[in-house]
Structure 1
């Protein structure tokens, strides 16, 4: 057994033990971290002349300018990495240990420093739970433990690169979730079925069902809380179809079954099927580069058609 493989297996076993202590929570990998940060950028980065200023600070996890916009961005990230729980209005310090132990072979984070960081977070008490309240509560800890928290939460590029190299199961940068999932569902013998899937044919094959389940999870249509229709509605809005929300929710609520392929089939057999294809394609395109919208790109039907033709050509 190679040293790298042994390390990965040891980490996996340790994570399993820790997960049993902290419910069912798993440490977040680099792909998950990138998604969380990019989504918080999308939802909080302002338009206008100061957009670049905010982006230049936030990308380095420098919580400036000190205003409501930055406060809400910080709260978004803290909730996203599940260090802060908005429902209970409490910080989850135990998860720092789980995150650290899972990747410390790659991060090199000091155990004592991480323990101090965890202790500091455990002592935090939140009041109203507003953006400013959460921000001001966490800020002193952020300033004191900026560097170690960056390591623990895989925000250092060199650390993420090591993990990508060691773990082939993490989706790569520049790879769409459709491509990532297809590699795990189909092989050369079932390539024809994969091509049909690119054309939105409902073949009902086990491979297609596995691929759709994988994609739905990658697109966050299914998350740790189960099926997430809000995420699908969001994708319709991003192709400039907000008026379809009632229809989309109606289709999903009436869909028999609770599996990804069943929801996928319901949408493709509904009166919103063509718009769903566009929304699904646009999500695939954005999954290649999580900063797609942050960079100022918008839905462009002609460009999307061109990019999907390229993706189809790789399979068909």
Structure 2
């Protein structure tokens, strides 16, 4: 595991180089990206109790209702709004122009049109959001309730439509039954020799970097959501995954002791990413 952590640090530093040439502004979200937003926000804010968790999943995803009116739902709503780019937490504003971009990107797959989107943006524009989950929920919910059908279509809430998009985008989107490692390798390592391909996939320390490797790492870390589309590291996401791995090994492998050294390396890792 110590070697694995060293490899991770090397990959992160390589990714830090790659993002300098791979920066991108906000772009309309495809179904894979919105699915990640929904599931990660659910994991963070849904009740931990199994029965309650299942009930909330039905409410939030099947019925598309922002209920019950409680702190968990409030912060789930904020998390989703930030995740899809509709709420900009840095400027504390509603990024209304992105709604139009989202509509144009996938308009051929949906039945709604510019009129519905114009009505939605007109309703969103006067909103004065807050960084507080409860306050943001309070001002956004009336708009959500009135334009739920349009919002659900905009952000890929209909399975029958998303399946068409997955099929249409083909190899340009990570398919549901595909890992990000496989998707990124197909996209960026097609020219690599078999040995180089294997070494890269095994995170070998002897792989020499080139443009294809940088693009592969960039794709991989954005897929894992370790790097944002604008080139910033999500240090919290990396630390969260570290905690999940630690929990697994402590519970199932009886290997808690090995994490003592790795815990000290987290400080080094964080300083390299900051």
Q: What TM-score do the two structures reach when normalised by structure 2?
A: 0.78
Alignment pair present for 1:230 and 2:236: yes
Shift of the alpha carbon at 1:189? 6.0
Select the residue among 144, 156, 159 that pairs with 2:158.
156
Shift of the alpha carbon at 1:132? 1.2
1:194/1:208 contact within 8 Å kept: no
SS in 1 for 2:193: helix
Shift of the alpha carbon at 1:205? 4.7
In 2 relative to 1, CA 118–161 (structure 1 residues): closer, same or farther, beyond 3 Å? same
SS in 2 for 1:167: helix
CA deviations on 1:73-106 (whole Å, 9 max, x unpaired) are 1111011111112233221111110111111111
Which sections of structure 2, spanning at least 5 residues, go unmatched? Answer: 1-23, 248-258
Map 1:14-53; keep pairs closer than 5 Å: 24-48=25-49, 49-53=51-55
Select the residue among 186, 204, 207 that pairs with 2:208.
204
1:107/1:154 contact within 8 Å kept: no
Alignment pair present for 1:170 and 2:173: yes
Partner residue of 2:57? 55
Query: Larger relative CO (CA 8 A, sep 6+): 1 or 2?
Result: 2
2:181/2:201 contact within 8 Å kept: no
Select the residue among 239, 243, 247 that pairs with 2:245.
239
Distance in 2 separating the partners of 1:83 and 1:39: 17
1:84/1:90 contact within 8 Å kept: yes
Distance in 1 separating the partners of 2:138 and 2:107: 28
SS in 1 for 2:81: helix
SS in 1 for 2:246: coil
Distance in 2 separating the partners of 1:97 and 1:254: 38
In 2 relative to 1, CA 111–140 (structure 1 residues): closer, same or farther, beyond 3 Å? same
In 2 relative to 1, CA 165–254 (structure 1 residues): closer, same or farther, beyond 3 Å? closer
Distance in 1 separating the partners of 2:138 and 2:192: 57
Distance in 2 separating the partners of 1:170 and 1:180: 8
Which sections of structure 1, spanning at least 5 residues, go unmatched? Answer: 1-22, 259-316
In 2 relative to 1, CA 116–250 (structure 1 residues): closer, same or farther, beyond 3 Å? same
Distance in 1 separating the partners of 2:138 and 2:87: 13
CA deviations on 1:144-164 (whole Å, 9 max, x unpaired) are 100011111111112211211
Shift of the alpha carbon at 1:200? 2.4
Partner residue of 1:73? 76
Distance in 2 separating the partners of 1:230 and 1:87: 17
Q: What TM-score do the two structures reach when normalised by structure 1?
A: 0.68
How many corresponding residue pairs?
233
CA deviations on 1:17-60 (whole Å, 9 max, x unpaired) are xxxxxx93211111110111111011101111311111111113
In 2 relative to 1, CA 36–245 (structure 1 residues): closer, same or farther, beyond 3 Å? farther
1:44/1:69 contact within 8 Å kept: yes
Map 1:1-316; keep pairs closer than 5 Å: 24-48=25-49, 49-60=51-62, 61-126=64-129, 128-168=130-170, 169-187=172-190, 190-202=193-205, 203-206=207-210, 207-223=212-228, 224-240=230-246, 244-251=262-269, 253-254=271-272
Distance in 2 separating the partners of 1:251 and 1:86: 26
CA deviations on 1:108-138 (whole Å, 9 max, x unpaired) are 2122111101110112123x53111111111
Distance in 2 separating the partners of 1:158 and 1:108: 12
How large is the RMSD of aligned CA atoms in angstroms? 2.3
